[in-house]
Amino acid sequence: MMDSSSCRQGNDLAPGGGEPFSIRKAVVGDVGKIQKLVNHFASEGLMLALSLSEVYEHLRDFTVADKDDDVVGACALHIVWEDLAEIRSLVVDPTCRESGIGRALVKSCLEEARGLQLQRAFALTYQEHFFHRLGFKTVEKEELPHKVWTDCLKCTKFPNCDETAVVKVLAG
């Protein structure tokens, strides 16, 4: 994680209205940082942990936020079916909260989903209000296809999931 002042000082927009961070597709050199961020929140029971192998395997799904040559956030767009993708593994360095990084990461993944001509994106979250502000609507988990639940089998909370399902219609 970054030192405690790194992002706090960068919460305001940079001169000229630019963001104090950039959004880009993940590269191999980001794997360790992505895993560290995800597993930090996984240790708090807020998401599933990822092994290095899993991050490498799904690296092409990840978009990262970069600030001063350091990964300060990550989010994955995982294609589930012909019309459906999942926004998952959304993490922001705790020192960078409230800086717009999470919103920028999700928006980037949604644009990628639209470019792939997907019709809907969903997330399973404890932060449904965050997703509501981005146009997602709360749905019953049972509305999602069974294929969605394959990762849930490795969760310690399965089958008593306490996350909220949210969906955003992208097309149609």
Reported as a single tens digit per residue, the pLDDT across 105-117 is 999 999 999 999 9
**Percent of the chain whose pLDDT exceeds 90:** 67
* Alpha carbon separation from 89 to 57, 142, 172 (Å, rounded): 14, 21, 27
Q: What is the pTM of this model?
A: 0.85
pLDDT for the residue 14:
39
Q: Is the dihedral of CA 111, 116, 121, 124 positive or negative?
A: negative
- Band (163; pLDDT cuts 50, 70, 90): confident
Sign of dihedral through CA atoms 130, 113, 86, 137?
A: positive
Helix ranges, the chain (H): 31-42, 52-57, 101-115, 128-132
Output 84 or 158, whichever has higher pLDDT: 84
State the pLDDT at residue 156: 59
Spans of all domains in the chain:
8-169
Determine the CATH number of domain 8-169: 3.40.630.30
